[in-house]
Amino acid sequence: MLEVVKVNTADLQAGMYVSGLDRPWLEVPFPVQGFRVDGPEDIMRLQQYCQYVFIDTVKSAHQPPAAKHAVPRSRKSVQEIFPGRRLKKYQDSTGWTDEYPRAKAAVDQLAETVGTIFDQVATGGA
């Protein structure tokens, strides 16, 4: 199971596995698939390009501080979040068989529109 924690590059330690960056992988000289931080050189290079990174806690030898001491958030009831409001439970007004054809048509039209945009961009059109 993949567990990822956002970590400031100032808090990096050797042995942590970097699985994501605060920018696209293609903008930095690091392997696209992620990598284990081997030492101070890797940390300094990451600090040159990133303010924070995403650490895979499963693949890491060292857990980020937030992962070690994470405190679960307390859950609030809906009434506590919206005091004084009369809340109604949402009920479906349309069934799946009625809704599906309209949803499929919307997705198909969206896919066609995106395809047209990509074609225009590829040919230099506007």
105 assigned to some structural domain:
yes
Among candidate residues 29, 52, 68, the one where a domain is terminated: 68
Question: Which residues, in sequence order, are CB contacts of 107 under 8 Å at separation 6+?
Answer: none
Tally the domains of the chain: 2
> Model's pTM, two decimal places?
0.50
Query: Are 109 and 56 found together in one domain?
Result: no
Give the whole-number percent of the chain exceeding pLDDT 70.
87
Domain that residue 115 falls in: 96-126
What is the Cα–Cα distance from 92 to 96, expressed in whole angstroms? 9
pLDDT exceeds 80 at position 73: no
Query: Are 9 and 54 found together in one domain?
Result: yes
Phi, psi of 29 (to 5 degrees): -90, 50
Query: Which whole number is the average pLDDT over 26-38?
Result: 85
Element (H, E) at 53: strand 52-56
pLDDT value at residue 74: 60
Give the whole-number percent of the chain exceeding pLDDT 90.
41
